[in-house]
C-alpha cells in the first residue's frame, strides 16, 4: 500500500473501524535514518493501534528503525517481505527476501532485541520458482526461530520478473489452504491472512480458523467494508456515512489550519459512498475541486449537497416518467 495508507487515510479508516489494527505504508530504513521523520513517521493520536511497516534487509539498520518507531509511539513494528515492486527488489528487501530466510530471521531477531513492542512479518507464500508448501512452511519455521510468532500472509506467491506489482496482486493463484494448513501444523503461531478478501462473508469464514484478516485495496476502494466488519465482529454500532463525513470535516479543519491542502484527505475518501445513490457525484465533485486554489474545509459538505441535489433530481425525473 505504498503511497496509499498515509496518516490521512488511516485517520479516515479509524473512523470506520475503531477496533482494527492499522498499518502504515512501507517505509524504508534509509528513509527513516536519513529523511524527514515527521513526514515519514508522524501520525494522529487517534490512529492507535497503529503498526509501522518497515522495508530493509540490514539487521542493525532495522533494529535502529524499530527503536525509532517505538519512540514515536507505534504499537507494532512489521517487516515487509512480500512487496514485489522493482523499487524494493533493487534495495534487496520486500519479496526477494523470501530467498533468504536466515537473513530474515536475523533481521527479526535484531528488531525483537531492540524494542518492547511486538515485531511481526508480512510475507507471501513463496517467490518465483520457490513455490511449494514445504518451502513456505520452512521459511516460516526459520523466521520463527528468532522468537517471532506473528505472521501476516498474502496467500499468493510473488513473481519478481515478468509481472507488475498490480499483476502480482491478481495473477498468481490464491492458495489460502496453505495458510489454513500451516494453522493446523503450527498452532502456536498467530496467523493473519491477506489477499483476495472482498466481503464480510469471506472475513467471517477465515476467522473461524485464523487469528485475523488483513484488508488492503478492497478496503481502500470500498471503505465501508471496514465499518461492516467492525459492526459484525466487535458489535460496534454501525455509523452513517454522513456522520463519518461530519467527523472528517473536523479533521479536515485541523489540516487546513496547519497549512495543508484539502486534497491530502479527499483523495482517500472517494470510495466512501461506493455502491450508493450519488456515489459518482461524490467522487466527481471531490476529484474536480479538491486541487483548486479555493478549496477549503467546506468541500465535504459541498460534495454531500451535490449528491443530495442529484438524487432529488433523479427522483423527480422518475416521478415524471411514472406520471407520464
Catalytic residue numbers read 83
Cell matching residue 267: 483523495
Helices then strands, counting H and E runs in the chain, come out as 16, 8
Nearest to 14 by CA among 61, 49, 51: 49
Q: Are 68 and 37 in contact (CB under 8 A)?
A: yes
Does residue 174 contact residue 156 with C-beta atoms inside 8 Å?
yes
Whether the Cβ atoms of residue 151 and residue 179 lie closer than 8 Å to each other? no
According to DSSP, the β-strands at 27-28 and 22-23 are: unpaired
- Whole-angstrom distance, CA of residue 143 vs CA of residue 146: 6
DSSP assignment of 3-20 = TTS-HHHHHHHHHH-TTS
Amino acid at each position: 500500500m505504498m503511497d496509499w495508507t498515509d496518516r490521512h487515510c488511516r485517520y479516515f479508516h479509524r473512523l470506520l473501524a475503531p477496533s482494527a489494527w492499522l498499518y502504515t505504508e512501507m517505509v524504508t530504513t534509509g528513509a527513516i535514518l536519513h529523511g524527514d521523520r515527521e513526514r515519514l513517521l508522524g501520525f494522529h493520536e487517534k490512529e492507535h493501534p497503529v503498526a509501522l511497516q518497515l522495508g530493509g534487509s540490514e539487521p542493525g539498520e532495522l533494529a535502529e528503525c524499530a527503536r525509532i518507531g517505538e519512540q514515536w509511539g507505534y504499537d507494532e513494528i512489521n517487516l515487509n517481505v512480500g512487496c514485489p515492486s522493482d523499487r524494493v527488489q533493487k534495495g534487496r528487501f520486500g519479496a526477494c527476501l523470501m530467498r533468504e530466510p536466515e537473513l530474515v530471521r536475523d533481521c527479526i531477531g535484531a528488531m525483537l532485541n531492540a524494542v518492547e513492542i511486538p515485531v511481526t512479518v508480512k510475507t507471501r507464500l513463496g517467490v518465483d520458482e520457490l513455490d511449494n508448501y514445504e518451502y513456505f512452511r520452512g521459511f516460516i519455521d526459520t523466521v520463527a526461530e528468532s522468537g517471532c510468532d506473528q505472521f501476516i500472509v498474502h496467500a499468493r506467491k510473488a513473481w519478481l520478473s515478468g509481472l507488475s506489482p498490480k499483476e502480482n496482486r491478481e495473477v498468481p493463484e490464491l492458495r489460502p489452504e496453505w495458510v489454513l494448513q500451516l494453522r493446523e501444523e503450527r498452532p502456536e503461531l498467530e496467523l493473519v491472512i491477506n489477499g483476495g478478501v472482498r466481503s464480510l462473508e469471506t472475513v467471517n469464514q477465515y476467522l473461524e480458523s485464523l487469528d485475523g484478516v488483513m484488508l488492503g485495496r478492497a478496503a481502500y476502494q470500498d471503505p465501508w467494508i471496514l465499518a461492516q466488519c467492525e459492526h459484525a465482529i466487535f458489535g460496534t454500532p454501525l455509523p452513517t456515512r454522513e456522520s463519518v463525513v461530519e467527523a472528517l470535516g473536523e479533521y479536515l479543519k485541523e489540516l487546513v489550519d496547519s497549512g495543508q491542502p484539502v486534497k491530502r484527505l479527499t483523495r482517500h475518501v472517494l470510495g466512501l459512498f461506493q455502491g450508493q445513490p450519488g456515489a459518482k457525484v461524490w467522487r466527481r465533485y471531490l476529484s474536480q475541486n479538491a486541487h483548486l486554489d479555493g478549496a477549503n474545509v467546506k468541500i465535504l459538505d459541498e460534495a454531500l449537497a451535490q449528491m443530495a441535489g442529484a438524487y432529488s433530481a433523479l427522483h423527480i425525473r422518475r416521478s415524471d416518467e411514472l406520471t407520464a
